[in-house]
Amino acid sequence: MSQAQSTTQGVSKETIFQRADNAELYAGALIPGYSCGATFETQNPYNGQCIGQVEDGNANTVNKAVEAARETFEAGTWADLAPSERKEILLRWHALLVAHTEELAALDCIDGGKPISECLETDLPETLETIAWYAEASDKLFGRIAPTGKDALALIEKEAAGVVGAVLPWNFPALMYAWKVAPALAVGNSVVVKPAEQTSLSAYKMTQLAHQAGVPEGALCLVTGMGESTGQPLGLHADVDVVSFTGSTDVGRLFLQYSAQSNLKNIVLECGGKSPQVIFDDAYDLDTIVDDVLSAAFWNMGENCSCGSRLLVHSSRKTELLTLLKARLPEWVMGDPKDPATKIGPMIEAVHFNKVSGYLATAKAEGAELVYGGSTPSMGAGLFVEPTIFDGVNADMSLFKEEVFGPILAVTAFETEEEALRLANQSDYGLAASIYTADIRRANRAAKAIRAGNVSINCFSEGSIATPFGGYKQSGFGGRDNGLEAFDQYLETKTLWYAN
Ligand code: NAP
Ligand code: MG
């Protein structure tokens, strides 16, 4: 019987919800030889109730984790395995994660306020696919031979970077963990993961399962806690080779400073966005397009980095499109994330709710016209923002320029293709964009003109695990997640020159 088969299955979502009701859930550091310290409470954003404890790590915790990670890297118990051996272990991890799918989905639901149906149908399937994809890719990477002429042989090799810090956001907890950790581990690095303080529970379980599958404990350490007390020491640590960060542009900027102030570690940033959805006058079948537009704007409560929060629509199609959007929006049911019918859960926490709901007043004050929603219903702990549409948003308004990270869609009309593309690019961000047109030549012109890392044509898509994901301008820095490109974050390049 294989190790994966001999392992108990994960518990049901009902069991996790029960444990949450009894405040029994837990996450804390996973570092060899380390015993955990003080904790803080983690809440269910829907009702504000304490669901468990999370270890409040600090610089000492980070030091221990980095020490263990370095020791393991130097010992070679992970880094020096044959790639096919690492693959086998990562596939065992995948099998364990599959067995714990429902448990992990329930943890992200209860911890992050994410609708359970989203967790089960999107987040966890993509998480599992990511782990399997990088496990399978790990023994299929080749170096190159340089064109030297007959006097020499030059090999261009890729080597594991060493100790990698992975700093995660709260909006897709299990999935962002997989995006960072799977490619970094697959090529032999030791990884220290720091999940967001709001959503550490699934990271704890995923790390435990990795150890159970055979990933050495020092090759994958977990540190939980606040950004300032754990993220900062990781960013400043002189023995960390790479930090791969996903989160806000403001905190991303800090990581560049941490690197400059310490050891010039490589920094990769996946940051915010203000992505345009461009609907040209010849867009076919708005009745179909409307679902894509809604998903882009409101999926995951708009707490999505590639959220299509700016709708740029040709003036001749605006009335028709707005009518369809308003007719379809009641399907986006707000409620308890534990309810399978819920499509819109609460904002993650009060500070974030205040920020998002603040835009309702700001947009009105700046002259935008509320055409749908705009309420903050008092259900649960009262952190709901109704899916909202503002029309008449111009390029000077906050709603056009700033990442809201909530369910508020800004509508701007345009007259010409040139104006549409100028508006699309009028942003500090450049993560994603969608273009809707029946004209293939216009689609191609627009796709090339838009300065963004991910452009989808006649749909809203973030691509797949096979395609790189990341942004231009202030949406990203230093590399890409996903695809074979993600490996570049975690590898150094070495030239070997042999004289003949
Ligand atoms: P955040 O506030 O920037 O936090 C991200 C991570 O950084 C968290 O683990 C956080 O720790 C940590 N952190 C906070 N302050 C820190 C500091 N001073 N020093 C070091 N680390 C620190 O972002 P978030 O609110 O979790 O996530 C939302 C943002 O992520 C949005 O802007 C969104 O667009 C972006 N995002 C981007 C992508 C992408 O692929 N481009 C994907 C998802 C999300 P705490 O635990 O204390 O929060
Ligand atoms: Mg929580």
Which ligand 1 atom sits closest to the C-alpha of 172? Answer: 43
Q: Percentage of the chain surpassing pLDDT 70?
A: 99
Paired sense of beta strands 220-222 and 190-194, if any: parallel
What does the pLDDT look like over 90-109, one tens digit per residue? Answer: 999 999 999 999 999 999 99
pLDDT the model gives residue 404: 98
Read off the pLDDT of each residue in 38-66 and give the average, rounded to a whole number: 98
Testing ligand 1's pocket by substitution, the residue of 246, 257, 352, 428 carrying the most ligand atoms inside 8 A of its CB is 246
What does the pLDDT look like over 276-299, one tens digit per residue? Answer: 999 999 999 999 999 999 999 999
DSSP, res 12: P
pLDDT beyond 50 at 4: no
What does the pLDDT look like over 353-373, one tens digit per residue? Answer: 999 999 999 999 999 999 999
pLDDT beyond 60 at 31: yes
Q: Strand, coil or helix: what is 385?
A: coil
CA of 434 from ligand 2 middle (Å) equals: 32
CA of 307 from ligand 1 middle (Å) equals: 16
Nearest residue CA, atom 23 of ligand 1?
247
Q: Strand, coil or helix: what is 128?
A: helix
CA of 42 from ligand 2 middle (Å) equals: 4
Cα gap 125→139, rounded to integer Å = 23
CA of 224 from ligand 1 middle (Å) equals: 14
Find out whether the beta carbon of 193 lies less than 6 Å from any atom of ligand 1.
no
Q: Work out the burial of residue 248: count CB atoms within 10 Å of its CB; fewer than 13 is exposed, 13-18 middle, 19 or more buried.
A: middle
Tokens standing for 393? 């948003």
pLDDT the model gives residue 5: 45
Residue 459 is among the residues annotated as catalytic for this protein:
no
Neighbours of 281 (CB within 10 A): 17
Residue 270 is among the residues annotated as catalytic for this protein:
yes
This model's pTM is above 0.85: yes
Candidate list 270, 386, 403, 417, residue with the active-site label:
270
DSSP, res 35: -
Distances (CA, A) of 119 to 104, 128, 172, 298, 378: 8, 12, 9, 15, 24
Read off the pLDDT of each residue in 128-139 and give the average, rounded to a whole number: 98
Question: Mean of the per-residue pLDDT values for the chain?
Answer: 97
Which ligand 1 atom sits closest to the C-alpha of 179? Answer: 40
pLDDT beyond 80 at 1: no
What does the pLDDT look like over 181-191, one tens digit per residue? Answer: 999 999 999 99
Q: What residues sit around ligand 2, an ion, with C-beta below 5 angstroms?
A: 42-43, 111, 198
What does the pLDDT look like over 161-205, one tens digit per residue? Answer: 999 999 999 999 999 999 999 999 999 999 999 999 999 999 999
Residue 459, phi-psi category: left (phi > 0), alpha (psi -120 to 50), beta (remainder): beta
Read off the pLDDT of each residue in 156-160 and give the average, rounded to a whole number: 97
pLDDT the model gives residue 3: 43
CA of 169 from ligand 1 middle (Å) equals: 4
Which ligand 1 atom sits closest to the C-alpha of 225? Answer: 46
Candidate list 305, 349, 402, 417, residue with the active-site label:
305
What does the pLDDT look like over 420-470, one tens digit per residue? Answer: 999 999 999 999 999 999 999 999 999 999 999 999 999 999 999 999 999
Nearest residue CA, atom 13 of ligand 1?
227
Cα gap 79→72, rounded to integer Å = 8
CA of 218 from ligand 1 middle (Å) equals: 25
pLDDT the model gives residue 7: 55
Integer-rounded Cα Rg, in Å, for the chain is 23
Neighbours of 50 (CB within 10 A): 14
Read off the pLDDT of each residue in 146-159 and give the average, rounded to a whole number: 96
- The confidence band for 2, taking pLDDT boundaries of 50, 70 and 90, is very low
What does the pLDDT look like over 249-267, one tens digit per residue? Answer: 999 999 999 999 999 999 9
Testing ligand 1's pocket by substitution, the residue of 40, 55, 130, 171 carrying the most ligand atoms inside 8 A of its CB is 171
Which ligand 1 atom sits closest to the C-alpha of 352? Answer: 25
What does the pLDDT look like over 376-423, one tens digit per residue? Answer: 999 999 999 999 999 999 999 999 999 999 999 999 999 999 999 999
Find out whether the beta carbon of 167 lies less than 6 Å from any atom of ligand 1.
yes
Which ligand 1 atom sits closest to the C-alpha of 272? Answer: 34
